[in-house]
Amino acid sequence: MELLQGTLDLLILRTLAPGPAHGHAIAKAIERQSEDVLQVEQGSLYPALHRLIRRGWITAEEGVSENNRRAKFYRLTAKGRKQLHLETTRWEKLARAIARILKPAEENPL
């Protein structure tokens, strides 16, 4: 299934909500959590990450991974957390609205 435009940003923010992670871990988490429904070229993660850094929603910091190699860790900022909340609410509203439109009979048994 193709990703909707802008959705990747939201997914990254959601993935980083529990704590910082490096690029590969983010990609894995998105695949896992969406039960492989959302197929995305892992590479497209990077432009998205940098877009988020530029907007100030996440930061990147140098760290050392578990097998002692240098890696970049991405962390949600306060601004990013607020954005995540905003976007999530918007998505939920949208999803509910679409769901109502698609299944009017069940919701409105006249």
Applying CB under 8 A, the residues found at the interface with another protein are: 22-24, 27-28, 41-44, 46-47, 49-51, 53-54, 60, 62, 65, 69-72
Q: Distance between the two ends of the chain, CA-based, in angstroms?
A: 34
- The H or E element spanning position 63 is strand 58-64
- Toward another protein, which CB reaches closer, 61 or 106? 61
Within 10 A of 3 (CB to CB), how many other CB atoms are there?
16
Q: List for the chain the helix, strand, coil content (%; round to 5).
A: 60, 15, 25
Provide, rounded to whole angstroms, the least separation between the CB of residue 8 and another protein: 13
Name the residue nearer to another protein (CB basis): 27 or 84.
27
Minimum distance between the CB of residue 16 and another protein, rounded to whole angstroms?
Answer: 15
CB of 23 to another protein, least distance (A): 5
